[in-house]
Amino acid sequence: MIILKSAEEIEKMRKAGGLVARVLEAVVEKAGAGVTTLELDRLAEKIIRDAGAVPAFKGYQPDFIKCGPYPATLCTSLNSEVVHGIPDDRPLEEGDILSIDTGVELDGYFGDAAVSVVIGEAGPEVRKLMEVTQHSLKAAIVMCRPGNRVGDVSHAVQAVVEAEGLNVVRRFVGHGIGTSMHEDPPVPNYGTPGTGPVLKAGMVFALEPMVNMGTHEVEASADCWPVHTADGSLSAHFEHTVAVTDDGPDVLTANSPAAAGRMEKKRRLG
């Protein structure tokens, strides 16, 4: 069942989403060679708790994970890690691709977003991976209008990615979001236009393309958290929480234009 949100609820989700955006901005600002992902995690948790919110990932325990609840505020997935990389004390190095995913619960509502950055200089292949993944998320966002279907959103991502010779991860999907982090419907990053549930004003989705340079296949060891590409190829991940409204898509985890500019620069140049 897809839960529709009222305009008031969407404003609450915008508060949660705005906090997620602020956290990602601060973490991207601090990320650099020599910094550890644990340091980034501590910064993120402090910003979230200081805002009176709760890190949504910390303590999260789905059935299919057999090594305990998620231990951190951020997922920090490096290079061939696709999602759910756990922050640790390895210093970041020049050339690392770091995907940073976080979620918060504020006043009963959730926000969820992710961004990928390059530490130091990005070569042309890596730059292309980042740009195509980001572009595929934008293509999904513009489809979030009443009357379109989930398959239109899914197909938009797949079309952008595959046209560039890259591949979308199939095992993990985007999702509805609201008073729970994961609600119906699942929003795959591949699909057929004109299929799936019809979008209505008040639906809110976490759209999250995960894109591999190699095949779409992924693996996780011992049913534990970190997921990596099966062929060891590099992977990128971008995510926004987006409301469907009568006026079109409304990105609830958007950064301020100035912050977006600073993050963009970091994505290109490190």
Residue 144 tokens read as 């979030």
- Residue 60 binds to ligand MF3 (criterion: CB under 6 A): yes
- Contact between 252 and 111 under an 8 Å Cβ cutoff? The reply is yes
Select 117 or 122, whichever has its Cβ closest to ligand MF3. Answer: 117
- CB neighbour class for 71 (10 Å; exposed up to 12, middle 13-18, buried from 19): middle
Site residues for ligand MF3, 113-172, by CB under 6 A, read none
Select 216 or 237, whichever has its Cβ closest to Co ion. Answer: 237
Cα–Cα distance for residue pair 227/213, rounded to 1 Å: 15
- Residue 101 binds to ligand MF3 (criterion: CB under 6 A): yes
Give the shortest CB-239-to-ligand MF3 separation in angstroms: 6
Closest CA to 84 of 96, 102, 66, 97: 102
Select 32 or 60, whichever has its Cβ closest to ligand MF3. Answer: 60
Give the shortest CB-133-to-ligand MF3 separation in angstroms: 14
SS (H, E, C) 72-133: CCEEEEECCEEECCCCCCCECCCCCEEEEEEEEEECCEEEEEEEEEECCCCCHHHHHHHHHH
- Residue 206 binds to ligand MF3 (criterion: CB under 6 A): yes
- Residue 84 binds to ligand MF3 (criterion: CB under 6 A): yes
Among 208, 210, 233, 254, binds ligand MF3 (CB under 6 A): 208
With residue 227 as reference, give the H or E element that holds it: strand 227-229
- Residue 75 binds to ligand MF3 (criterion: CB under 6 A): yes
Select 9 or 112, whichever has its Cβ closest to ligand MF3. Answer: 112
Output the CA–CA distances (angstroms, integers) from residue 142 to 46, 127, 175, 252, in the order listed. Answer: 33, 23, 16, 14
Output the CA–CA distances (angstroms, integers) from residue 191 to 113, 168, 197, in the order listed. Answer: 22, 11, 12
Binding site for Co ion (CB under 5 A): 112, 206, 208
Give the shortest CB-243-to-Co ion separation in angstroms: 15
Give the shortest CB-1-to-ligand MF3 separation in angstroms: 19
| Count of residues interacting with ligand MF3 (CB under 6 A) | 11
Select 43 or 210, whichever has its Cβ closest to Co ion. Answer: 210
Q: Which residues bind ligand MF3 (CB under 6 A)?
A: 57, 60, 70, 75, 84, 101, 112, 175, 206, 208, 239
